Amino acid sequence: MNNATQLTPALEVKNITKTFTLHQQQGVAYTVLDDFSFSLNRGECLVLNGPSGQGKSTALKILYANYLPDSGEVWFHFNNHSVELYSSNTHQVVYLRENHIGYVSQFLRVIPRVSALDIVAEPLISQGFDESASRDNAAELLTRLNIPEKLWSLSPYTFSGGEQQRINIARGFIKPVPFLFLDEPTASLDEKNKQVVLELINEFKQNGTAVVGIFHDADIRQDLADKIIDL
């Protein structure tokens, strides 16, 4: 790392506005984000805070190009390059997601027939890592998250909400990434597993990952946040 990169933030969000227009419901339009901006350095964690319905998830989804803003910019800064999300083509966005962003959504999207272990290992395998080494990493992470080994070869279809969420978390944390976005990752977890997730997030921060998250628990927010934005 040279000095220049230390001065540049990792993530810059500039003047995001987001309006939902419901064409099927008399064209009702409501604005959720208006001129939303922040910047975040490597190794820092930004917590999006506020009551439900204020746009926390919407803001997070816009960072991942899952929701499309009306206007504004999202800049990802690297050592050698900067990428603006909404002026890149979809091909480039897919590359950015697959290689540089970890994203943990609120719910696991189960793929038919795919085992828990493979769901977790897939982000590594699809990047071209050795399959058995990727599965070893996945197994290590599932062990840390207290998923019993007898479940690893099963499709998470029948798992409990908390188990599914831990599979989802493991998938989001399997590869080292410079950017990590977390949508209530600890919502359905018990105390022991919350602590594991907290440790994982702190390890990523120490490695320089910029983290943006929504957290239900006040103590987790307290523990992780370098910056808080109230929405």
The residues of the shown chain that bind other proteins, judged by CB under 8 A, are 1, 5, 20-24, 42, 61, 65-68, 76, 78-81, 83, 90-96, 100, 111-114, 126, 176-178, 208
Minimum separation from the CB atom of position 33 to other proteins (A): 13
C-beta closer to other proteins: residue 22 or 228: 22
CB atoms within 10 A of CB 206: 9
d(CA 166, CA 160): 10
Which residues touch 211 (CB under 8 Å, ≥6 apart)? 44, 45, 46, 180, 181, 182, 201, 204, 205, 224
Min CB(43)–other proteins separation in Å: 11
Minimum distance, C-beta of residue 49 to other proteins, in the bound complex (Å): 23
Measured from the CB atom, the residue of 118 and 163 that comes closer to other proteins is 118
In the complex, least distance from residue 11 CB atom to other proteins, rounded to whole angstroms: 12
Pairwise CA distance, residues 121 & 174, whole Å = 7
**Beta-bridge mates of residue 216:** none
> Helices 131-144 and 161-173, interaxial angle, to 10°?
130
| Smallest distance from other proteins to CB 27, Å | 9
- The residue (of 65 and 142) whose beta carbon lies closer to other proteins is 65
Nearer to other proteins by Cβ, of 23 and 192: the residue is 23
**5 or 153: CB nearest other proteins:** 5
Straight-line distance from the first to the last Cα atom of the chain, in angstroms, rounded to the nearest whole number: 34
